[in-house]
Structure 1
Amino acid sequence: MNRRTVLGFAATSALAGLAGCIEGVKEHFGLQGVIPVEIQSEADETQNILLESRERESGRQSYEQSYSVTPGETVSAPHLDQTEQSFRVAKIENETEATVRAVSVTPDTDLVKILLYDDDLVVEVRRDDGEDEIADGEDGDGDGNETAGNGNQTDPDATGNETAANETDADE
């Protein structure tokens, strides 16, 4: 046997032996995957935003970042942990939260993308199962799909349908 064959066999054997250990090491030390967060400004003016996230089980705040994003700029924010959490984006105007969007982040989330406009804010959650979630001002009530207090998300379709029904009743 030549030296290359022996070294190749040794390397392959070592990698095969470690293959099962990697998941155990990740679990033991609490290492988790990460979810990238991307902020893109389509606005004509600088936009100030606040990003917050809370773990679903404990309610513990797990993420808080604030940014001032200039027109045409794309920012890569620090990654989120790949856990069940409520993620909230608030657009700050005159030191108050003017527009707020809330979405759910799960372990199967691949990307959280935030799009900033002069008069709106859109948060898109892309998942590997194809069940993407988009929070925008299209539900008609202007509240950004967020409920006050508990941080849970309302059903965007239900909110939109209630608004549509109220508008229809008012037209009659």
Structure 2
Amino acid sequence: MNRRTVLGFAATSALAGLAGCIEGVQEHFGFQGVIPVEIQSEAEETQNILLESRERESGRQSYEQSYSVTPGETVSAPHLDQTEQSFRVAKIENETMVTVRTVSVTPDADLVKIQLYDDNLVVEVRRDDGENEIADGEDGDGDGNETAGNGNETDPDATGNETAANETDADADDE
């Protein structure tokens, strides 16, 4: 055997040995996948928004970002962890939350897309199984949407989306 063959075999053997360990290392150190967050403004005026996320199991706030998005701008926000969580987007006017959308983010989510309009806010969670969730306030069916600042809360019996309603109730207690 020549030297190149021996070195090539050693390198291949080392890589093959490590291949099975990568998942264990990721689990041990808590590495998780990420879910991209994209914000797109279709509005004619600058929109101020607040993004928040809470872990489902612990209720711990795991994400909080604020943005001022100009008309026609697309913003890539920091990624969400690929965990079970409630994700809330609030449109802010005069330091008050005027429109709030809440969606469920699960590990099978591929993208969270937020579309801003002058009079509305749409949050879409795209999943790899094709079962996308959209919170847009257009149908009024209590799908995790609320108008903030007036005491209205999501009715968990309207769609069975108790997670969004519970998250909303918890936030009302925090204020």
**What TM-score do the two structures reach when normalised by structure 2?**
0.80
Q: Report the Cα distance in structure 2 between the residues aligned to 1:79 and 1:120, rounded to whole angstroms.
A: 23
Stretches of structure 1 lacking an aligned partner (at least 5 in a row): none
Deviation of 1:6 (Å): 3.0
Distance 1:152-1:109 versus aligned 2 partners, 3 A rule: farther
The verdict on how the C-alpha distance between 1:69 and 1:132 changes in structure 2, with shifts beyond 3 A counting, is same
Secondary structure at the aligned position of 1:165 is classed as: helix
Deviation at 1:107, TM superposition (A): 0.7
CA offsets, 1:40-93, max 9 Å, x none? Answer: 111111000000000000111111110000111111111111100000000011
Q: Is the 8 A contact 1:146 1:154 kept in 2?
A: yes
Change (3 A) 1:47 1:9: same
When residues 147 and 119 of structure 1 are mapped into structure 2, their CA distance, relative to the original with a 3 A threshold, is closer
Contact between 1:45 and 1:71, CA under 8 Å: does it hold in 2? yes
**Count of residue pairs the alignment pairs up:** 172
Change (3 A) 1:39 1:59: same
Per the alignment, residue 127 of structure 1 pairs with: 127
Task: Report % sequence identity.
Answer: 94
Normalising by structure 1, we get a TM-score of 0.82
* RMSD, matched Cα: 7.6
Flag structure 2 segments of 5+ consecutive residues without an equivalent.
none
Q: Which residue of 2 aligns with 1:60?
A: 60
- Once the two structures are TM-superposed, the CA of residue 100 in structure 1 deviates from its matched residue by 0.7
Tell me if the contact between 2:91 and 2:100 (Cα under 8 Å) persists in the aligned partners. Answer: yes
Are residues 24 and 90 of structure 1, via their aligned partners in 2, closer, same or farther at CA, if it must alter by over 3 Å?
A: same
Instruction: Give the 5 Å matches for 1:137-152.
Output: 137-140=137-140, 145-146=145-146
Deviation of the 1:30 alpha carbon? 1.0
Contact 2:97–2:149 (Cα < 8 Å) also in 1: no
Kindly state the Cα deviation for residue 167 of structure 1 after the two structures are TM-superposed: 28
Task: State which drifts further: 158-167 or 35-44.
Answer: 158-167
CA distance, structure 1, for counterparts of residue 29 and residue 165 of structure 2: 51
Write the distance in 1 (CA, Å) between the matches of 2:160 and 2:7: 64
CA offset at residue 9 of structure 1? 2.1
